Structure 1
Amino acid sequence: MFGKTTKTITLTIGAAAAALSMAAAPQASAGVTGCKASGSKQEVGAIVGGLLGGLAGNQIAGKGDRGTGTAIGAVIGAGAGSAVGCNMQKGDAAKQVGGIYKSGGYRYAQNVEAEPLVKVGHKYVARSTLNLRSAATTRAPRLGAVSSGQTFQALGRTGDGKWILVGQDGVGVGYVSSAYVYRA
Structure 2
Amino acid sequence: MSESTRVKINLKEGLIELEGSEKFVGQYLDEFKILLSSAHIKSTDSDMNIDSKNTSEHQPTENKKKSPAKKTASSKKIAPKVPAERFDVHGNDTTISLQAFMDEKKPGTKNGNLIVVIGYYITEILGNKGFTLGQIEYAYKMLNLKRPGHLRQIMINEKNERDLFEMDAEDKNLWNLTRSGEIFVSDQLPVSGS
Higher helix share: 1
Do they superpose with TM above 0.5?
no
Larger RCO, structure (CA 8 Å, separation 6 or more): 2
Taking structure 1 as the reference length, the TM-score comes to 0.26
Higher strand share: 1
User: Which has the larger Rg?
Assistant: 2
